[in-house]
Amino acid sequence: MHGLAFDISHSLAGGLVLVSFMMLYQDRLTSLLNVFALHALMLAAAVAWQAFIQDAPHLYVTAAIALIFKAIIIPVALRRIVYKLGIHREVETVVGIGMTMLAGMGLVALSLALMLRVTADADALAREDLAFALSVVLLGLLFMVTRRNAVSQVVGFMSLENGLILAAAGAKGMPLVVEISVAFSVLIAFIVIGIVLFRIRERFDSVDVSQLDVSRGERS
Amino acid sequence: MSALAVELGCVAALLATAVIGVAAARTPRLGRVSVYGLAAIVCTIALVSAAGALLRQEPPAEIVLPLGLPWLGSHFSLDPLSAFFLVVVDLGGALASLYALGYGRHEHAPQRVLPFYPAFLAGMNLVVLAADAFSFLLSWEFMSLASWALVMAHHREAANRRAGYVYLLMASFGTLMLLLAFGLLAGTAGDYGFAAIRLAPHAPWIATLVLLLMLLGAGSKAGLVPLHVWLPLAHPAAPSQVSALMSGVMTKVAIYGFIRVVFDLLGQPDWSTSGIVLLFGGITAPIGILYALMEKDLKRLLAYSTIENVGIIFVSLGLALAFQANDEKLPAALAFTAKLFHVFNHSLFKSLLFFGAGAVLSATGERDMDKLGGLIHRMPVTSVVFLVGSIAISALPPFNGFVSEWLIFQAVLQSPQLPQWGLKILVPAVGALMALAAALAAACFVKAYGITFLGRPRGPATSKAHEVDRFSLAAMIIPAALCLFAGVLPGLVMDALAPIASDLLGNRLAPQSPLAWLSIVPLAESKGSYNGLLVAAFIIVSASLSYVAIRLLATGSVRRGPAWGCGFTDPVPLAQYSAAGFAQPIRRVFGTLVFRARDRVTMPPPGDIAPARLRIELHDQVWERIYAPLANGIVGTAVRLNRMQLLTIRGYLSLVFVTLVTLLLVLAIWT
Amino acid sequence: MDVITDIAVQGVQMLLVFALAPLLTGFVRKIKARLQRRRGPSLLQPYRDLIRLLRKDVVLADNASWLFRAVPYVTFAAIWVAAALVPTFATGLLFNWAADLIVIVALLGTARFFLALAGMDVGTSFGGIGSSREVMIAALAEPAMLMIVFCVALVVGSTHLSTVADHIASTEVGLRVSLGLAMIALVIVALAENARIPVDNPSTHLELTMVHEAMILEYSGRHLALIEFGAQLKLLLYVSLIICLFYPWGIGVFGAGPAAYLAGAALYLVKLTTAGFLLAVFETATAKMRVFRVPQFLGAALMLGLLGTLLLFVSKGL
C-alpha cells in the first residue's frame, strides 16, 4: 500500500486542495472557469488512480464522467453563458482575497485536526483522502459564501461536489448507480441554474445574487 | 556576606538615595549628581553580586525579615531565576543612571523625578527578591506607584495626565488579578510563603484559573494585547531614562512574576493553557509592531515595539509550557532558555534605543520624526549606536536579537513531538506570525532610523543639533557593545542561563561553551546549529576583501554633486518621504484589516492652486471595541447610581431597611 | 588531509558562485532576447558592465553620509556569505554548520535592511518610494520563506542545508505534496526577492512602478558595481537554493572524492541552465503586476507554505 502508490494518490488529493485554493485566489470569471476545469481534471486523475490501485473498474466510469462533464462540457457551457451575458471582463468584488485565503487555511486546519483524530484507526490512505475531501468541501462552501456572482456560486457548488466524489472514491464502497445518479443530478442542477441565471439577468440586468434580496423584500 | 544580603543592602541603599533625592531636589546639580551617581554605583554592586551568584550557581538562599505581617514576616530569597532577573534589572538600572547623569541636566522639574527614580529601582529589585505573596504584592504595588509618579513628572501636559490616569487604572486592575491569583494559590490554609505554596498540591482547575489570572495581571503590566493600552501612553510620557527602565526592565519584572508563579509555584501545567498563552503571544507580536509602524512619535514607536517583543517572549513561554505539559524536557528547556535570552536582549537594545531617542530629544527638542532627519551628520556616535540597536531589535545577524529568535524558531520546529493536534497545528501558525512580526520589525526600524537619522533635516531644530554629553554616550555604547557580544558569543550567555532551566524544568541544554569554534547547538548537531562568531567574521572578511579588491581595481575618486531628482530637483526637504508616507504600503496591506485604515484625498479642481490634502484615518480597534464601551458603561452606571446621593431621609432609611432584610433573608436561606 | 579537502571545497564553492553569478544573469538576458526575436547582448556582457562600472568615478549626492558609502560593501558581503553557504555541487561544506537555512534568510534580510536604509539616506522621493515598497515586499516574503523553511525542516528534521540535500537526494522521501507546495512558494518568493518580472522589472528605469531600482537610484561607479553584483549573486543563490532543496539528485555527497564532485558540478551547471531557461520563458510570458497586487501574490506563497506545513501532518501521519 505504501510507497509510490500512496505517494501519488496523496499528491493528487493534495493537488485538489491546492486547486481549490487557486479558485479562491481568482477574481476574474474566465480564469475561474479555467481553474475549475483544472479542478475537475485533478479529480478525474485522482479517481482514476484510486480505480487503479483499488482495482475497482467502476471508478473508472466515475473518473470518465468527471472528465467529460465537469472538465469539458460544464466549463465550456459556463464560458458561453459568461460571454453571452457579457460579464467575461468583470472583476468580481471579493471579500478580501487575503482574508478568504486565511479563512481557508483555518478550514483546512480544522478538517485535518478533526478527521485525523476521528479516524485514528482507519487505513492511512482512506484517512488522508477523507481529510482532503472534507477540506475541499469546506473550501467550496467558503467559496460560495464569499462570492456574489451567480456563476461563481455555481462553480463553487460544483467544486464542493468534487470533494464529495473524492470522499466517495476513497471510501471503497459507493456503488456505481449512486455515483451516476449523483453525476446526473448535478448535471440537471447545472441546467436549472443555467436557466435561472438567464432569468435573473433578464429581470435584474445583473447576476449579482444580492439583487435577489430586493425581490424578497429584504432591502428596499 | 551572602549575595542575598548584598542585594537587600542595595535595596536599602536605593531607598536611602530616594530620601537624599527629596532633600537634594532644591539644588538641581548636586541632586542630580548625588542621586544618579549613587544609584549607578548601587546598581553596579547589585549587578555584580547577582551576576556572581548566577555564574557561580550558588544554591538558593532565603532570609526572613521581621517586617510586614506579624505572623508571616517578609521572606526574601535568591535563586538562579531571581538572580538572572536581578542582572536584567540592575544592568538596566546602572545604565539608565549613568545616562541620566548627563541627560538629567535637561530635566526642568527635577524635584518630581529625583526622589521617585531610586524608589522605582528599589521596587523592581524587591519584586524579584520577594519570596512570599504579601511582600511580592507590596513591592509590585510600590514599583507601580513609583513609576506612576515618574510618568506624571511632566504633568502640565494634558496627554501625560491622561497617560498617568490610564496607567493607574490598568495597574490597579493588574494588581487585583495578582491578588486573586495569590489568594487562590494560598488556598484555605492561607500560607503565603512561596516555599509553602510550592509544596502544596493545586487542583487542576485552580492551576488553570491562576494561570489565566496571572496572564491578565502580569500581561497587563507587560503590555500583552489587548491589555496594552496604557503602555504606549505611559512609557513615552516619562523622562527618557525612565522610559528605558519601564520598557526595557519593568516589563521584564512582569514576565518574572509570570514565570515565578506559573513555572515555579504551580507545578505541572495543562497543555490547553499553553495554547492560550501561545495565542495571546502570537497575536500580540504582529499587532504591536503594526501599531509601531503607524507611529510618527519616536518614543511611542519604541513603546509599541516593546509590545511586539513581549509578544515574542510570551510565544516562547507558551512553547515552554506546551513542551513541559507533555514532559518533553529538552525542547522545553530550549524554549525557556530562548525566552530568557530574549528577555536579556530586549532589555539591552530597548534601553539603548530609548537612550538614543532621549539623546535626539535633548539635542533637537523633537520627538516627532516628521520634523527630524539628517541627524547622522550632526550626531555621529548616537547614530552609530542607534543603528546597532535597530539591527539588533530587527533580529538580524550577527547581533543578539537574531540569536534569541533563532532559538525560538528551533523550538517551534520541535512541534511535531507534541501529541495534541491542536498544538501541532497552532505552533507552526504562531511561528508564521512571529516571522511576520520579525519582518515588520525590520521595516519599522528602517523607518525609525531612516526618517530620524538619514535624509535631509526637516526642521530648523534639527540642523542645529549637536552630539550629546559623554555620560549619555557611554550609557549607549555599553549596551551596543553587549548586543554585539551576546550576538557573537551566544554560547556563553546560554550557559549562564542553563541553571535556571534545570532548576525550574528539571532539564537543561547541553553546555555550549566547550563546543568547537564557540558555535551553539541547542539540541543536536544534525538539527541545527549557529555560529555567530564565524558569521560575523565571514561578513567582516568578505566586506574587507571586497573593499581591498575595489581599491586595487577601481578608481578611488569621489565627486560630489546634487542629488539626482530625475530632472525635478526639489530643494524643499519636506518633499522627502515622511513617517506616514513610508508606512503607506504596509498600511494599505495590513492596516485596512487591523486599523480599518482609510486614506482620503481632497484634490482641488484643475486650475485651483490650493494644496491637495491627504487624510489618513486609523482606528485603534482595541480601544474602540473594548475599552470605550467599558468606560461608557461604567460612567453610565455611575451616573445612574449618582441619584442615590440625593435621596430624602426616608429614602435612605428604606435603603438601609431593604438591605437589612435582604441580608437576613440570605442568612435564613443559607443556613 | 580531510581538512585541506574541506577548505578546498569551501573555497571552490565561494569562487564558483562568485564567477557564475554574472553568467547566469547574462544567460537569462540572452534567452529572453532570443524569445523576443532579438539577438541580445553577449553572455559575457554582465562581466563587461561590472568592469566598466568599476572604472567610473563615484558621484555622491551632497548630503550622502558614511552609511551610504558603507552599504554596498556590507550588503555585498552579507549576500556573498549567504551564497557561499548554499551547497551547489557538493554537500558537507566546511562552514555549513556555522549557519543553517534560517541564518541564510536572515543574512539576506541584513542585506536588504542596509539597502533600504541607503535608499533613505540621500533624502529624495525616489529612494523613499523604493525603500518603503521594498520593506513591504520583504514583510510578506520573509514569513513565506520561513514557512518554506519550516516545511522542509519538518520533513527532514534539520535546518542544515547539507543535511537536507543529503536526505532528499539519498533516501526515499517520495512524492510529497507538501514539498511541491513549498517549491511553488519558494519560486514565488525568489521572484519577489530578486525583483523579477511579475513583481518588479529588473531592466526598467524611471518608472513609478519600479522598486529595487528606485532604491539604488543614487548609486554610481564602483558602488553600483557592487550592488549589481550582489543582486546577481542573490539570483544565483535562490536558484541554487531551489536546486539544493528540491532537486539535489547527483550532488556530490560529502567525502565522495573529486570524481563525484566533478560530476556534481557538471550536473549543477545543467540544472542551472534549465532553471535560467525556465525563468526567461516565464518572464517573457507574464506581465508585471501592479504594486498592490504583489501582496496577494506573496500572500499566496505564504498560504502555500502554511498549507504545505499543515499537509505534512497528513502525509507523515505524524
Q: Is B400:B483 a contact under the CB 8 Å cutoff?
A: yes
Average pLDDT over residues B251-264: 94
Residue A46 lies in a domain: yes
B396 interface with C at CB cutoff 8 Å: yes
The closest CB to that of B421, out of A96, A99, A117, belongs to A117
| pLDDT score, position A220 | 45
| CB-CB neighbors (< 8 A) of B429 in chain A | 109
The closest CB to that of B425, out of A96, A98, A113, belongs to A113
SS3 content of chain C, % helix, strand, coil (to 5): 70, 0, 25
* Statement: residue A24 has pLDDT above 50: yes
| pLDDT score, position B81 | 93
| pLDDT score, position C318 | 41
Residue A104 lies in a domain: yes
ipTM: 0.94
Q: What is the pLDDT of residues B634-657, one digit of tens each?
A: 999 999 988 877 777 788 888 888
* Statement: residue A96 has pLDDT above 90: no
- List subunits contacting chain A, requiring 3 or more Cβ pairs under 8 Å: B, C
The closest CB to that of C74, out of B436, B543, B584, belongs to B543
Average pLDDT over residues B392-410: 93
Residue A17 lies in a domain: yes
In degrees rounded to 5, what are phi and psi of residue B65? Answer: -100, 145
Q: Which has the minimum average pLDDT: B210-224, B563-577, C244-258?
A: B563-577
Q: What is the pLDDT of residues B618-638, one digit of tens each?
A: 888 888 899 999 999 999 999
Q: The cell 514576565 sits on which residue?
A: B255
Alpha carbons C22 and C132: distance in angstroms, whole number = 28
Query: To the nearest whole angstrom, how far is the Cα of C144 from the nearest Cα of chain A?
Result: 13
| CB-CB neighbors (< 8 A) of A112 in chain C | 310-311, 313-314
Q: Which residue of A has its CA nearest to C305?
A: A105
How long, in residues, is chain C?
318
B576 interface with C at CB cutoff 8 Å: yes
Q: What is the pLDDT of residues C14-71, one digit of tens each?
A: 888 889 999 999 999 999 999 999 998 999 999 999 999 998 889 998 889 999 999 9
Mutate one of B425, B436, B589 to test the A interface: name it (highest A CB count within 10 A): B425
Q: What is the pLDDT of residues B166-197, one digit of tens each?
A: 999 999 999 999 999 998 888 777 778 888 88
The angle at the Cα of B284, spanning B283 to B286, to the nearest 5 degrees, equals 75
* Inter-CA distances, C118 with B157, C82, C112, C132, C291, Å: 37, 20, 10, 12, 21
Domain total for chain A?
Answer: 1
The closest CB to that of B539, out of C81, C113, C135, belongs to C81
Alpha carbons B320 and B223: distance in angstroms, whole number = 20
| pLDDT score, position A213 | 63
Average pLDDT over residues C291-312: 86
pLDDT band at C206 (very low <50, low <70, confident <90, very high): low
Q: Which residue has the higher pLDDT, A116 or B102?
A: B102
Q: What is the pLDDT of residues C273-293, one digit of tens each?
A: 999 999 999 999 988 888 888
| pLDDT score, position B645 | 78
Q: Is B377:C63 a contact under the CB 8 Å cutoff?
A: yes
Average pLDDT over residues A79-93: 74
Determine, for residues A112 and B425 on separate chains, whether the beta-carbon distance falls below 8 Å.
Answer: yes
Determine, for residues C95 and B538 on separate chains, whether the beta-carbon distance falls below 8 Å.
Answer: yes
Three-state SS sequence of B151-213: HHHHCCCHHHHHHHHHHHHHHHHHHHHHHHHHHHHHCCCCCCEHHHHHHCCCCHHHHHHHHHH
Alpha carbons C274 and C270: distance in angstroms, whole number = 6
* Inter-CA distances, A174 with A131, A137, A178, A188, Å: 18, 18, 7, 21
- Coil, strand or helix: which one is A163? helix
- The Cβ-side half-sphere exposure at C77, using a 13 Å CA radius, reads 24
CA A68 to chain centre: 15
Over chain B, what is the mean pLDDT?
Answer: 90
How long, in residues, is chain B?
671
Q: What is the pLDDT of residues C67-100, one digit of tens each?
A: 999 999 999 999 999 988 888 887 776 677 778 8
* Statement: residue B667 has pLDDT above 80: yes
pLDDT band at A140 (very low <50, low <70, confident <90, very high): confident
| pLDDT score, position B481 | 96
| CB-CB neighbors (< 8 A) of A116 in chain B | 421
Residue A45 lies in a domain: yes
C122 interface with B at CB cutoff 8 Å: yes
Structural domain that includes position A69: 2-215
Q: What is the pLDDT of residues B271-295, one digit of tens each?
A: 888 999 999 999 999 999 999 999 9
Q: What is the pLDDT of residues B415-465, one digit of tens each?
A: 888 888 888 888 988 999 999 999 999 999 999 999 999 998 888 888 888
Query: To the nearest whole angstrom, how far is the Cα of C34 from the nearest Cα of chain B?
Result: 32
Average pLDDT over residues A162-171: 79
CA B154 to chain centre: 22
| pLDDT score, position A1 | 44
State the alpha helices, DSSP H only, in C85-220: 101-121, 125-156, 161-170, 177-193, 212-215
Alpha carbons C63 and C288: distance in angstroms, whole number = 34
Q: The cell 448535471 sits on which residue?
A: A187
B422 interface with A at CB cutoff 8 Å: yes
Mutate one of C292, C314, C318 to test the A interface: name it (highest A CB count within 10 A): C314
Average pLDDT over residues B386-411: 94
C193 interface with B at CB cutoff 8 Å: no
Residue A220 lies in a domain: no
Q: Which residue of B has its CA nearest to C217?
A: B564
| pLDDT score, position B49 | 94
Alpha carbons C65 and B423: distance in angstroms, whole number = 49
Fill in the DSSP letter of residue C90. B
Q: Which residue has the higher pLDDT, B569 or B165?
A: B165
Q: Is B336:B432 a contact under the CB 8 Å cutoff?
A: no
| CB-CB neighbors (< 8 A) of B422 in chain A | 113
Query: To the nearest whole angstrom, how far is the Cα of A121 from the nearest Cα of chain B?
Result: 15
Q: Which residue has the higher pLDDT, C159 or B344?
A: B344
Average pLDDT over residues B615-620: 86
B666 interface with A at CB cutoff 8 Å: no
Q: What is the pLDDT of residues B18-63, one digit of tens each?
A: 999 888 878 888 888 999 999 999 999 999 999 999 998 888 888 8
Q: Which has the minimum average pLDDT: B146-150, C17-21, C161-165?
A: C161-165
The closest CB to that of A25, out of C177, C181, C300, belongs to C300
